[in-house]
Chain A
């Protein structure tokens, strides 16, 4: 295996909990991300799946050092960048870019598209004005937008086109890694596939690595090479896409797969949906964080936190469950 483009080791992000009242302080901790280990190989797509509030966004923010991790390390292309100062991080920022879920709120409505795409180049002081304009035209072409639209404003574009603009903007600085935070969730079905195709073309052409955050399992199954499943701040299962879908070993992964609607399989059968909501990360349950919702939980699960480790004989498939070898699939 080649060197991962980005790796996090034992990464945790803890926040002080908001107090009980407006001015009261409380010495509680929100365990937003806890002891996460992840690797992303160059040119590959790793998907991060989990319910809202499970820490996906905090994890990618810590991983791109937009917020400081509480403990743990972030290694980018072999260098431990956790302790870098903002001055040192600046050149790295060019290599890691983000595309957000909602193209309606992530683009400045007062800037014409040409300037929006040019902005990252200006901020990083790259090229002269004419050169930059050429680059913008190139980028718009790369995302299949007409270059004569450069002087239009975001509101003149549809959702799918806006997401293309956001992607062009992310590509402006020649990044190696793009973090895609629910990039197609806000789009209509008929344009979703256009954007998914575009993302794949760009990955092939430019050798990009993607960290894809999502909740639509059909989309993730389609686009991801590897999947990491997150629950209450921790990675509970990690394997290649095929394995996650054919042989999920964590009861939470199994529940997620079962809950996801699939078209063309006929009328809904009453599944055994997960009961209740995820517990609060301020006061996570003792033992395995999933045990209050797990149909297979035993006494051991309530007392002892399972270790996230590979299954026997399968170094690429890890799960955090005491019964990962026994769980029926």
Chain B
């Protein structure tokens, strides 16, 4: 494995999300799907965003690229990148960020790739659009990139259509496409969820290798705590649209402060507990239309009291480099 060069990191920019709020126009009125979310993506570092489905992880990611669905609106906050607020950039100018400076890979490569174009052409297209490189050169670069992401016999594979490749190979193509412009930021939304464990291991190793080579910052979105634990430098846990805890990975797993984080970690089956009863979190994630008063987790929390049901806790520092949104953090 190549050592991450100080140089490759120096050339990269950070991204700052501050007080982001995203709302959806629905029949039930305006619903806030992402509420007051702030974080920073640093070159060479991986920040993981964990949460159950519907917690707002993907919406947070899509806001950065301004790829939200039509019913959604960013109602507050800033996203600074290179001193520029991406939320104020004109639609046309977003193109120089999307794909070029900020790359993204999605969960299901089959739906993210165009089924009627050869994969090599799809990768080459990125270069043609962003850098105006001529088609022949772009094609050669695409093949080179396919080799870098570990696809054997790249010149032949470049001529294949997505359906002719396996799931793991398609995800490699996606990664090649996302990284060919050597972006500063890579957003990976559940990149391995649809893959088998052995292929998942290959893809995770590949992303880490590419990170040490290119020095980009990664926002890694997943619901799989085991993957997070092995992959991320820092973790943010999201619940019903808010970040409820943030900590360096090892610390989060060692001593979770928020009762929800703690509950999630405890419910995981672990070795040595064969068929012992698993702890559970009662109830389910509330829909945005029916959030409880006070803390959003209060109706499921085993230690909630009056205050929790009345007032929403702020997201406050709890020891060095840790934050938690809880009135009664576990210590």
User: Which A residues are within 8 Å of any B CB, using their own CB?
Assistant: 51-52, 158-161, 188-194, 196-197, 200, 215, 217-219, 221-223, 241-242, 245, 255-256, 258-268, 270-271, 273-277
Instruction: Knowing A158-B284, A264-B229 are in contact, say whether A193-B52 is a contact too (CB < 8 A).
Output: no
Q: Pick the contact of A267: B226, B249, B267, B273 (CB < 8 A).
A: B249
**Is the CB–CB distance between A52 and B196 below 8 Å?**
yes
B233–chain A nearest beta-carbon distance, Å: 8
* A190 adjacent to B200 (CB under 8 Å): no
**Partner of A218 from B196, B253, B263, B268 at Cβ < 8 Å:** B268
Inter-chain contact B205/A261, CB cutoff 8 Å: no
- Asked whether B279 lies within 8 Å of A263 as measured between CB atoms, the reply is no
Bound CA–CA A277/B263 (angstroms): 36
Q: How far is the CA of A264 from the CA of B266 in the complex (A)?
A: 11
What CA separation (Å) do A215 and B199 show in the bound complex? Answer: 12
Docked CA distance A194–B223 (Å): 17
Q: Given A197-B278, A270-B1, A277-B169, A245 and B267 touching (CB < 8 A)?
A: no
If A193-B280, A197-B277, A241-B274 touch, whether A277 touches B285 (CB-CB below 8 Å) is no
Note all chain B residues with C-beta closer than 8 A to A52: 167, 196
Partner of B229, one of A200, A215, A242, A262: A262
Q: Are A264 and B253 in contact (CB under 8 A)?
A: yes
**Which residues on the A side are within 8 Å of B116 (C-beta)?**
none
Chain B neighbourhood of A261, CB < 8 A:
197, 200-201, 204, 224, 226-227, 229-231
Minimal beta-carbon separation of A194 from chain B (angstroms) = 5
Size range of the chain B interface in the assembly: 35 or more
Please state if A222 and B269 are interface contacts (CB–CB under 8 Å).
yes
A194 x B280 contact (CB < 8 A): yes
Contact A51 B273 (CB under 8 A): no
How many angstroms between the C-alpha atoms of A275 and B205 in the bound complex?
12
Task: Point out the residues of chain B lying under 8 angstroms from A222, CB to CB.
Answer: 269-270, 273-275, 278
Q: Are B279 and A193 in contact (CB under 8 A)?
A: yes
Pairwise interchain contact B274-A51, C-beta atoms closer than 8 A: no
Q: Considering the chains assembled together, what is the distance between the CA atoms of A56 and B65 in angstroms?
A: 40
Q: When chains A and B are docked, how far (Å) is the Cα of A276 from the Cα of B167?
A: 11
B250 within 8 A of A: yes
Asked whether A197 and B229 contact (CB < 8 A) given A218-B270, A221-B274, the answer is no
- B265 contacts across to A, CB distance below 8 A: 263-264
Interface SS of B by simple majority: helix
Chain A residues positioned under 8 Å from B227 (CB to CB): 261
Residue pair A51, B284 in contact (C-beta under 8 Å): no
Complex formed: what's the CA distance from A255 to B196 in Å? Answer: 12
- Given A188-B52, A274-B198, 6 additional A-B pairs, CB 8 A: A192-B267, A259-B197, A261-B200, A263-B228, A267-B230, A273-B202
Closest B residue to A157 using CB positions: B284
Q: Is B160 located at the chain interface by the 8 A CB criterion? A: no
B47 to chain A, nearest CB (A): 14
B208 is an interface residue with CB less than 8 A from chain A:
yes
Task: Give B53 Cβ to nearest chain A Cβ, in Å.
Answer: 6
Partner of B269, one of A221, A258, A260, A268: A221
- Distance in angstroms between the alpha carbons of A217 and B228 in the assembled complex: 16
Interchain CB contact under 8 A, A263 and B168: no
Taking a contact as CB atoms under 8 Å apart, the answer to whether A263 and B275 are in contact is no
A-B contact pairs, 11 of them (CB 8 A): A188-B53, A190-B263, A190-B281, A192-B267, A218-B269, A218-B271, A258-B201, A259-B197, A261-B224, A264-B254, A265-B229
List 5 A-B pairs, minimum CB-CB distance, nearest first. Answer: A222-B269, A259-B201, A268-B230, A263-B229, A193-B267
Let me know if B278 and A196 touch, CB within 8 A: yes
Q: Are A51 and B198 closer than 8 Å at their CB atoms? A: yes
Residues in A with CB closer than 8 Å to B231 are 261, 267-268
The answer to whether residues A217 and B197 also contact, given A189-B268, A273-B205 and a CB cut-off of 8 A, is: yes
Q: What residues on A are CB-neighbors of B275 within 8 Å?
A: 200, 222-223
Q: How long is the Cα–Cα vector from A264 to B255 in the complex, in angstroms?
A: 11
A263 and B280 form a contact (CB under 8 A) = no
User: Which single residue of chain A is at the shortest CB-CB distance from B165?
Assistant: A277
Nearest A residue to B232, CB-CB:
A267
Q: Provided the pairs A188-B223, A264-B229, A268-B230 are in contact, do residues A160 and B270 lie with their beta carbons within 8 angstroms?
A: no
- Cα distance, A259 to B198, chains bound together (Å): 5
User: Given A218-B270, A263-B268, A273-B201, are A189 and B52 neighbors across the interface (CB < 8 Å)?
Assistant: yes
B4 at the interface (CB under 8 A from A): no
Q: Considering only CB atoms, which chain B residue lies closest to A262 in the complex?
A: B226
Which residues from chain B contact A273 at a C-beta distance below 8 Å? 198, 201-202, 205
Q: How far is the CB of A147 from chain B (nearest CB, A)?
A: 19
Q: Which residues of A contact B53 (CB under 8 A)?
A: 159, 188
Q: Is B301 an interface residue (CB 8 A)?
A: no
In the bound assembly, the distance between CA atoms of A329 and B234 in angstroms comes to 33
B304 CB–A CB distance under 8 Å: no
B152 / chain A contacts, CB cutoff of 8 Å: 276
Chain B residues with CB under 8 Å of A245's CB are: 271
